[in-house]
Structure 1
């Protein structure tokens, strides 16, 4: 199994400023991680260093899990469900799996 190894990348002060501004304008941490080629924990550290308030994490409450189950039964994918709830597809998938939902095989 191959792993994706990233080179350690330092952001310039201008890039950090851009990253923080983008986050304040609603860009998600995972998107910023991809955009700047750094781990999401690095994004988190830069946001903490900037002293700005971070958005609260979206939790999959029991009510949301029930909604997700209904959407999955209607044919939506875990990624589509994740987008509806503002979470990653893998988070939606894990919540469905924990709720004993029989998962469909992935589409190639």
Structure 2
């Protein structure tokens, strides 16, 4: 069904779920404001046209997430161009080099 909806409508539906306000994004707390499962991970199967929304704000909290993002950025669809805001909660080695090169914004 999602494939039949216009991108503009999908954006209106998903933006409230996926949007992260700047004040929350930049908080430095003992417990991360992103410690709960991300809404985006539950919505990844919605539609390929939602890719820009899913990658708009990226929060990396573990080595596994950094590895998964690095693999996703190797794909042919170049999702790195959609990353506008990146929060890294730790040091994740060589994967970060690839992520940063793939996310020019």
TM-score surpassing 0.5? Answer: no
Between 1 and 2, higher relative CO (CA 8 Å, sep ≥ 6) is seen in 2
Which has the larger share of strand? 2
Scaled by the length of structure 1, the TM-score of the pair is 0.31
Scaled by the length of structure 2, the TM-score of the pair is 0.32
